[in-house]
Amino acid sequence: MTYALIVIDMQQGSFGVATPRHDAAGVIRRLNRLAAAVREQGGAVVFVQHDGPPGDPHHPDAPGWRLLSELDARAGDAFVRKAACDSFLGTSLDDTLRARAARTLIVAGCATDYCVDTTVRSALARGWPTIVPADGHTTSDRPHLAAAKIIGHHNAIWADFLAPAGPAHVKPTETVIHHLAALRAPPQRA
């Protein structure tokens, strides 16, 4: 089974002083570890970047469009651009995943309540078996709800979501990494 890690909108424009993200440093560390585990298993790492309109911090000509420098993005990874919350809508994501023989998606990144949520739901609706690292996505506090509550709420929704591929499998990043490592381990002899 080939896995693809989709890392959404981990761009400089999403992580400014005006938009502090819940456990940003921890999420970045976990995503780097998860990307390494996916690569070692022979899977694909796909970075999705939002293209904002002129004047937006995510406009492709703005410094905010670039990925966070702390992310371990490599030349062999795939890079997909989007203009909506859904990473599949009007993009090459589905074709990229199929070209890399992906069978199961691991969806992570920013923001839990916008682009991550929309992409998880879209992946499930398209029939992609989907894993969400429970601690591999982030958002900011909103006027109506703290970021930690938003993250917990979405983890619960995705784990119970009705879709052709079933609900998302929501697990801590460490559990996902251990699962990927077990796939690489040679079979035990009796």
pLDDT of 188: 58
* Residues 47, 74: Cα–Cα separation, whole Å: 10
Which domains, and CATH codes, for the chain?
A: 3-184 (3.40.50.850)
Report whether 105 contacts 128 (CB < 8 A): yes
pLDDT of 143: 95
How far from the centroid of its chain's Cα atoms is residue 141's Cα?
19
Task: Evaluate if residue 184 carries a pLDDT over 80.
Answer: no
The CA angle 7-178-2, to the nearest 5 degrees, is: 55
Confidence band, pLDDT 50/70/90 cuts, at residue 187: low
Q: What phi and psi, each to the nearest 5 degrees, are found at residue 112?
A: -45, -50
Q: What is the pLDDT of residues 93-108, one digit of tens each?
A: 999 999 999 999 999 9
Q: Between 17 and 186, whose confidence is greater?
A: 17
What is the H or E stretch that residue 108 is in? strand 104-110
Confidence band, pLDDT 50/70/90 cuts, at residue 129: very high
